Amino acid sequence: MNPWSRLSAVHAGIRAGVSILALMLLAHTQPVNAQAPAMAADSITGKVIYSGPKPTVRKISMEANPTCAKLHPNGLPSPEVILDPDNALQNALVYVKSGAGLAGKQFPRPAETVKINQTGCMFEPHVVAVMVNQRVEIANADPSNHNIHVMAEANPAWNVTQTPQAPPKIAQFANPEIGLVLMCNIHPWMRVYANVLSNPYYAITGPDGSFTIQDLPPGSYILEAWHERFGAQEKKVKAGGKADFTFTE
């Protein structure tokens, strides 16, 4: 091998050695598991059913108010108990009452507005859930006057008349309260239950009685199911689990 070839081989070996050393140093300086991956949020699902003899559902008569009676000449069944053919219970509130580090934790109020309407001399929807200080709009789509009477216990009570097609009344509730009643003093059968929660982990059962509470951090929770007529009951369940509730008269 001539001197120039020998010198080139030496330089190539030096370069290869430097590259290997650099890779080794880089590997030792890179953080290993510098940040543990966040634990994925999970859901709790379930169903609320009624067991026992079919409950008596009263019929709402609107004969005392000609305007309302004209809209419903045969009356209406009360919305307090709505069951499907399999006894699934609609309009039950299911919410996280405690657990998994929720004590003292503050949650931002949702940006969206919860809307309640007075239409056909009834409140729609019949049951709502809102977070503390979330904006609530109450509208009157009827051709007659209504009255909004907030019958709160943990929040200030108030009472105001609302004329037809008037701008919506705005409500916000500063304190948690389950079963807060809004009713119309002019039409006493009209009422809506506005449940005020301190966390975003809640749901209201649909026509099939099912519910899903989403985005729960890992851990165990106490769930409460509440219904205006059948009361409340609790269950302990882990995020990712299932919780069914059965009510009876």
- State percent of the chain over pLDDT 70: 84
CA distance 135 to 115: 9
CA distances from 19 to 9, 12, 28, 29 (A): 16, 11, 14, 15
Domain membership of residue 119 (yes or no) is yes
Mean pLDDT of the chain: 88
Domain membership of residue 218 (yes or no) is yes
pLDDT score of 190 more than 80? yes
CA distances from 141 to 18, 60, 89, 176, 183 (A): 80, 20, 28, 29, 16
Dig out the tokens for 243 from the structure.
């919780």
- State percent of the chain over pLDDT 90: 76
Domain membership of residue 169 (yes or no) is yes
Q: 245 pLDDT band (50/70/90 cuts)?
A: very high
Side-by-side strand order, sheet with 42-50? 210-216, 42-50, 245-247
For every residue of 47-72, DSSP letters joined together read: EEEE-SSPPP-PEEP-TTSHHHHHH-
Beta bridge partner(s), residue 46? 211
pLDDT digits (tens, 9 = 90+) for 127-168: 999 999 999 999 999 999 999 999 999 999 999 999 998 999
CA distance 109 to 131: 6
Domain membership of residue 22 (yes or no) is no
- At residue 14, the pLDDT reads 44
Dig out the tokens for 95 from the structure.
């919410």
Domain membership of residue 1 (yes or no) is no
Q: Which domain holds residue 76?
A: 42-247
Q: How many distinct structural domains can be found in the chain?
A: 1
Domain membership of residue 120 (yes or no) is yes
Domain membership of residue 242 (yes or no) is yes
Contact 226, 196 (CB under 8 A): no
- At residue 15, the pLDDT reads 54
CATH of the domain at 115: 2.60.40.420
CA distance 130 to 171: 11
- At residue 3, the pLDDT reads 46
Domain membership of residue 20 (yes or no) is no
CA distance 109 to 188: 31
- 90: CB partners within 8 A, 6+ apart: 82, 83, 84, 205, 206, 207, 209
Q: Average of pLDDT values for 224-248?
A: 97
